[in-house]
Structures are given as C-alpha cells and as structure tokens.
Amino acid sequence: VRCHNMAEVFVDRFFSELQKQHLKQLGYKKERRTFSRELPEYIERIQFQGSQWNSADTPWRFYINVGIQFRDLPRRHPDRDFPNTHAHGRIENLVSTGGGFFELTEQNAKEMLENISTLVTKASNALPQVALATYEKCKEGQLVWFGVT
C-alpha cells in the first residue's frame, strides 16, 4: 500500500489532469508518471521524474525524460534508468524549455498543464529525426542519450 501525503495526492491529480485534458487526445496512455504513445516505427515515452529533494512544504520539482522504444529491437538490459527505452534524454535536449527542471505549485498548475502539453508536442515532433539518427546505434546495443554525441 502506497502512503500519500497531501503533496503526493496533488501531484498525482495533476498528472491525471494532464492525461485527461491534453495527452489522451494525442494518443498517449498513462502508467503512473510515464506516458506512452505507440507509433508505427517506435513507442514514445514521456516520463516525469520527481526530484529526490522534494518535500511537502516546497514546490514539487521535476524533470521530463523523453524516450524511444524501437519495436523491432530487444529490450535493453539493464534498463533501470528509463525502462522500455532504447534511446532517451531530458526534454531540454530536444526542445527549448527555459531550464532543466520544472516546479509545480497549486498556483501554477493550470499554466503548467498548458506548458507541458506544448513541450510534449514539440518534443514528439522532434523525435522522428532523432529516431532515424539513433536507430543503428541502438541496434548495435548501445544506449543513446539525446543531445550527447
């Protein structure tokens, strides 16, 4: 049984709203704080990673990881860093975000829903080119980090 404090309940509700209001109509499915969308060549994954330093009395700080799982390649082992992906990185390696992290509060939640939806759409639009550029390395069994050459 998972114990929720009020901050965790708020954060879980935020991601449920993000799915309901924005990402579901784009074709994403939600599992906890990871959203996946199946495309013909690969599966896109968007993962919201909370900071290990979050506490109930501060804004909820998080990072957005974006990954690709190629349908025709076997699963990487180990893949604890971002399960079910062959290539991944932070969203700021794909699109301009204005910084490397985000801070969610009750006051900015509505604006944050819109901003994240826009960023996810832009990142998704950048992924086909990234997928093409990284496929061969992934096929060779290499882990590919976006934005790292």
- How far apart are the C-alpha atoms of 81 and 96, rounded to whole Å? 23
**Does pTM surpass 0.75?**
yes
6-18 and 109-139 helices, crossing angle to 10°: 70
pLDDT single digits (tens) 76-123: 888 888 999 999 999 999 998 888 899 999 999 999 999 999 999 999
End-to-end CA distance of the chain, in Å? 42
Structure tokens at 12: 């879980």
Q: What was the pLDDT predicted at 146?
A: 81
- How far apart are the C-alpha atoms of 109 and 133, rounded to whole Å? 35
CA 14 to chain centre: 14
CA 104 to chain centre: 15
